[in-house]
Chains A and B, each alone.
Chain A
Amino acid sequence: MSISSILNIAKNAMFANQTSLQVTSNNIANVNTEGYAKQEAVFEEGVPVSTIAGLLGSGVKISEIVAYYDKYIEKMITDKNTTLEQQKTAEQYFTRIESILNEDNSNLTQDVVDFFNSWQELSTDPANTSNRLAVVVNGQQLSSKIRFMYSQLKSLQTDANNNIKQEVDRINRITSSIAELNQKIFESSSGGEGVNKYINERTNLLKELSAKMDIISFEDSEGRLTIMTSGGKPLVDSSLSWDLEAHVNDDGMYSIRWLGGAGTTYDITNEINGGSINALVSIRDTYIPEFVDSLDGLAKGIIEEVNELHTTAYNLYGQTGVNFFNDITEYYAKDIDLTDDIKNDIKMVATSSSSTNLYDNDIALGIAALGDSTIFDGGQSSAVTYITSIISKAGEYTKQAEDLASFNEDTMTILQQERESVSGVSLDEEMANLIKYQYAFQASARLFNVADALFQSLLDIQ
């Protein structure tokens, strides 16, 4: 045992406490960093030296810098995040669908009733020109409204479709980054602040990836993360990553393909069962088409039933066989419109089944009666009940998505709190640590003075 040992011990102690101070400073600096796990320098007693007096300690050293990180909680958060983002995305889109279909915004029911009411008004006085004009105006208003709602729904569908592409691009960037981080973590396998930084970063990326699609992930003994799709397609394995592609189908919609390399691709669209992509695909392919079909059904019913009666009637020119709406056979909601004949000349509006009395009103009455006839849903619903069933369905879907999003948010909050409890930084704790390490550093520095004094004492011996 020598004075230099004391110096060594002092040096190691100072270094250890200085490192701890640095770690504590890092914790304080990252108190608000999302996904940061509190770190701590682990002190370990130096290897004791054997002396004639027995084993003598050789001070302290930092064995490792550990991050307070609970893999189980992180896994639960990752898994819950998939569901949460799926529901939040669904909620966001259903809210928009609800807004489109909400009667307070669309006034669709009102327009339908106004249209058929205008036929009633016309039936009370078929010789009145303004009544005829009202039928045309209300018909145009109704057609325009249906087309507008159709275009809004399709626009939302396009938006969802475009978002799928963006999500796929982001997934590719994430998986590529995770592969790089895997390599860095592997190379920094000795531990330290650096590897913890990489681990935090990778954890955040994993969480972001889990928000977009459901994944399977596990870590190997070297700390490298392997990520697969729920269908078993690899996305990341060690330092390798596989890309996904948003492939444009014939209908202009994106399908998601896994690129296996060497030209192999695999359509995994239907294998994605969670995350925002799943919600976007469901909204795009199932729910919006459902509402578009319903709107189509409404338009089809109105066009066919009104035309069926109108073509049997005689207009003021004595002509018959004139359609009121354009006679179309598909895309009813997209293309519903009055015929040019009707739009350009109100005398083409026909009210009478008699070629000798063009001002009779029996056809007008018949068309007016369609307003509350059960001509939709296979004869089960009138126009109003058909529309309210659509509105009700949108409301139910939205409520369900809101409730699920809320539930999952609450669950996520609990998990986040648990994570914070384990991995979060408490400034009070860190300040206490700061003081502790500061005193220890000062005490270690004092050791130098003592060792120096001892040297001086030796040197002073004559």
Chain B
Amino acid sequence: MIRVTDKLRFDTFKQNLMYIQKSIARNQDMVSAGKKILDPSDDSVVFSKNVEIQATKQLDVQFQRNLGRAKTLNSLYETSLTQISDLLAKAEEIAVSATSETSTAETRRYASEEIKGIIEHLVTVANSKLGNTYIFSGKKLTTTAFTLNADYTVDFNGSNDVQQIYVDAGERSDLGLSGNGVFYTNDAYAYYGNSYTGSVYSNSYYKTDNSRFLVNITGAGVPGTATYQYSTDGGTTWNGSDLTTATISATASQYVIDGTNNKIVFNDGTSDYTVTIGPGTYTADGLAAAIKAGMEGATAAADSYSVTYDAATGKFAIRNDDNAANPGTVTLKWSDANSTAAGILGFDTVDKEIGKGKTINGDYLGGMFIDGAGVANSTNKGTKMVFGATGTLAADDKFLDEISAFDVLKKLKDGLESDDTDTISETLRDLKIVMEEVEKNLVETGTFGNQIDSLINEKSDRATLYDEITAEMMDSDLGQLTVDFNTLTNTYQALIYAMSKMQSMTILNYLK
């Protein structure tokens, strides 16, 4: 039988008292903090998880700020593009009016002053700023996007590519538009006064700066035989040697294949193969046939492929024939460093898959590059200029590899000043092209604005979800805590009462 001594009684009472006091203190801490997990030792897994979620929320707040900036910028773009669109529409009205029979040399002269005003206004809009940054300068944020020269030509000083921002973890998005993308199109631009009336095509998929190629016909002739030189500084200096013009004709011998651009790496659905095109000068049709033969010859089975050239668009097309021998989806491995033929065939250096029975078209014009090379390089920047199959190029005909709205307006101004209705009529076609480009940008801006809103809402929803999760994990149940507190205080009181009663149960109280 255990002896219960006074020390034992008091020590037990003190221990129990301390235990309840500790429990009450803990209860109060949970009430005041509103949390049931106060320290990592309470539940290290939950505590750590909560820290991670808070960090993710904090990151999301930053993404929302990034998107907020993008939204502000986007709104500015919408406003600016609308103004640009309106100004170009006004210019179009003036051009249409100037070609009417009621217009005179004098009215055209007055109209040219209006066009000057439109150019000046456009440059102002094109140089819009948000804070310290020019919104159309691409990555060159603090560089004035456009410069208006005395002769009403306009130079673009920004960069073609734009900055990116994070919109989510590991996910970037372009922030903004480059003036190059708004005011310039990839269509070639023919100087007024040229005698050539055929079509001119161009692309520049590799270029990231604002350089433009000026082509000057040095030797007259039909496209494919006429010669040219090119300048990248607006005509101050030239490349120095005559190059043969390229034509969209499928039968002109102009595709020079050598060791730099003769390989295609592809997978036929089972294995990788490399096609090596024999060196030589090919026509478009001839090159298409050589590629077909090469692909079919490379594979072990009797695979069948169709390779064609479209003289209307200037692009190659490759088809994975719906043939029983073809194993399945073909992958053109343009990203492979050994696939050197992508450029001359007009494909991006991105792998392309062709399902059975499907066809893919080239991303860009097929053909030699503007500097006469068979591959894209730092000089030609992936730029090609190709002329139509008909017409004659005269010496000193000049062409730019891309149209700008400012070039067209300058052309219109000059035409109005010189009372040249033919030139004015030409600008109507070009105006339509640049207006379409602006309209396209306006639509994309609107779409991007919707995407931004959607992303912002998504993050808002995510924040709410995180709050729910962390509340579930961390928040204390105040109702339960109140009940617990009542229980503890009652127990505390009962303990003290019991102790006070035990005090009276001693022999000392009975001895007189």
Residues of A bordering B, CB below 8 Å: 31-32, 94-95, 98, 101-103, 109-110, 112-114, 117, 120-121, 123-128, 354, 357, 359-361, 365, 368-369, 371-372, 384-385, 387-389, 391-396, 398-399, 402, 413, 416-418, 420-422, 424-428, 431-432, 435
Q: Once the chains bind, are B69 and A117 in contact (CB under 8 Å)?
A: no
Contact B51–A391 (Cβ < 8 Å): yes
Which one of B4, B6, B48, B66 contacts A31 once the chains associate, using CB atoms below 8 Å? B6
Q: Is the CB of B8 within 8 A of A361?
A: no
Complex contact B41–A109 (CB within 8 A): no
Would you give the shortest CB distance from B180 to chain A, in whole angstroms? 14
Partner of A395, one of B10, B44, B132, B142: B44
New contact pairs (19) apart from A357-B140, A388-B51, CB-CB < 8 Å: A31-B6, A112-B55, A113-B55, A120-B62, A124-B165, A125-B132, A127-B142, A354-B139, A360-B163, A385-B52, A391-B51, A392-B45, A395-B40, A395-B48, A396-B40, A421-B2, A425-B5, A427-B507, A431-B506
Asked if B7 is an interface residue, CB under 8 A from chain A, the answer is yes
Q: How far is the CA of A108 from the CA of B287 in the complex (A)?
A: 63
Chain A residue at smallest Cβ distance from B43: A395
**Chain A residue, CB-CB nearest to B209:** A356
Min CB gap A420→B, angstroms? 4
A-B contact pairs, 17 of them (CB 8 A): A31-B5, A31-B7, A32-B6, A103-B47, A117-B62, A123-B163, A127-B131, A357-B159, A359-B133, A360-B139, A372-B59, A393-B44, A395-B41, A395-B44, A425-B5, A427-B6, A435-B511
Chain B residues, CB < 8 A from A432: 507
Q: In chain B, residues 125-175, which have Cβ atoms closer than 8 Å to a Cβ of chain A? A: 131-133, 139-142, 159, 163-166, 169-170, 172, 175
Please tell me if B15 contacts chain A, counting CB pairs below 8 Å.
yes
Binary flags per residue of B34-58, CB closer than 8 Å to A gives 1, else 0: 0000011111110111011011101
Q: Across the interface, which residues of B come within 8 angstroms of A421, CB to CB? A: 2-5, 8
Is residue B121 within 8 Å, beta carbon to beta carbon, of the partner chain?
no
B40 touches A98 (CB 8 A): yes
* Chain B residues whose CB sits within 8 angstroms of the CB of A422 once the complex forms: 3
Min distance, Cβ A415 to any Cβ of chain B, angstroms: 12
The answer for the CA separation of A372 and B52 in the assembled complex, in Å, is 11
Asked whether, in the complex, the Cβ of A125 is within 8 Å of the Cβ of B2, the reply is no
B8-29 vs A, Cβ < 8 Å mask (1 yes, 0 no): 1011100100000000000000
A123 to B70, CA, bound (A): 12
Contacts of A110 in B (CB 8 A): 54-55, 58
Question: Knowing A117-B59, A120-B62, A120-B166 touch, does A127 contact B132 (C-beta < 8 A)?
Answer: yes
| Interface footprint category on B | 35 or more
Bound CA span A369–B62, Å: 12
Residues of A within 8 A of B49 (CB): 388
A384 to B52, CA, bound (A): 6
The 8 closest A-B pairs by CB, nearest first: A395-B40, A424-B5, A395-B44, A398-B41, A388-B48, A117-B62, A127-B132, A399-B41
Quick check: A431 and B511 within 8 Å, CB to CB? yes
* Contact (Cβ within 8 A) B132 A388: no
Q: Which residues of B contact A391 (CB under 8 A)?
A: 40, 44, 47-48, 51
Q: Using Cβ atoms and an 8 Å threshold, which residues of chain B touch A392?
A: 40, 44-45, 47-48
- A residues within 8 A CB of B66? 120-121, 124
Q: CB < 8 Å: which of B7, B39, B41, B172 contacts A32? A: B7
B508 within 8 A of partner (CB) = yes
Which listed residue, A94, A109, A372, touches B169 by the CB 8 Å rule? Answer: A372
* Number of A-B pairs, beta carbon distance below 8 Å: 172
In the complex, what residues of A have CB within 8 A of residue B175's CB?
Answer: 124
**Nearest CB of chain A from residue B108's CB, rounded to whole Å:** 42
Known contacts A117-B62, A127-B132, A371-B59: A388-B52 contact under CB 8 Å:
yes
- Contact in complex: B55, A416 (CB < 8 Å): no
The interface bits of chain B over 52-79 (1 if a CB of A lies within 8 angstroms of the residue's CB, else 0) are 1011101101110110011000000000
A417–B55 CB distance below 8 A: no
Q: How far is the CB of A88 from chain B (nearest CB, A)?
A: 15
Which of chain A's residues has its CB closest to B61's CB?
Answer: A117
Q: Which residues of A contact B12 (CB under 8 A)?
A: 417
Q: A124-B165, A365-B164 are in contact. Are A109 and B54 (CB under 8 A)?
A: yes
With the chains together, A426 CA to B98 CA distance in Å?
122
Q: How far is the CA of A416 from the CA of B165 in the complex (A)?
A: 68
With both chains docked as a complex, state the minimum distance between the C-beta of B89 and any C-beta of chain A, in angstroms: 32
Q: Which residues of B contact A117 (CB under 8 A)?
A: 58-59, 61-62
A413-B15, A422-B3 as given contacts; A98 in contact with B142, CB under 8 Å: no
Least Cβ–Cβ distance between B234 and chain A, in angstroms: 19
What's the least CB distance linking B133 to chain A, in Å?
5
Q: How far does the Cβ of B72 sit from chain A's closest Cβ, in whole Å?
A: 10
Give the residues in chain A near B43, CB-CB below 8 Å: 395
Q: Which listed residue, B39, B142, B163, B506, touches A427 by the CB 8 Å rule?
A: B506
| B406 smallest CB distance to A (angstroms) | 23
Instruction: Return chain B residues, CB-CB under 8 Å to A417.
Output: 2, 8, 12
The interface residues of chain B lying within 8 Å CB-to-CB of A396 are: 40-41, 44
Known: A113-B55, A123-B165, A359-B139. A424 touches B7 (CB 8 A): yes
Residues A113 and B40 in contact, CB atoms below 8 Å apart: no
Cα separation A416 to B14 with both chains bound (whole Å): 14
Partner of A124 from the list B45, B61, B69, B140 (CB cut-off 8 Å) is: B69
Q: Which residues of B contact A109 (CB under 8 A)?
A: 51, 54-55
Given A360-B163, A399-B44, A428-B507, are A114 and B58 neighbors across the interface (CB < 8 Å)? yes
Task: Determine the chain A residues whose CB is within 8 A of the CB of B55 once the complex forms.
Answer: 109-110, 112-113, 384
- The distance in angstroms between the C-alpha atoms of A368 and B171, with both chains bound, is 12
Residues of B within 8 A of A32 (CB): 6-7, 10
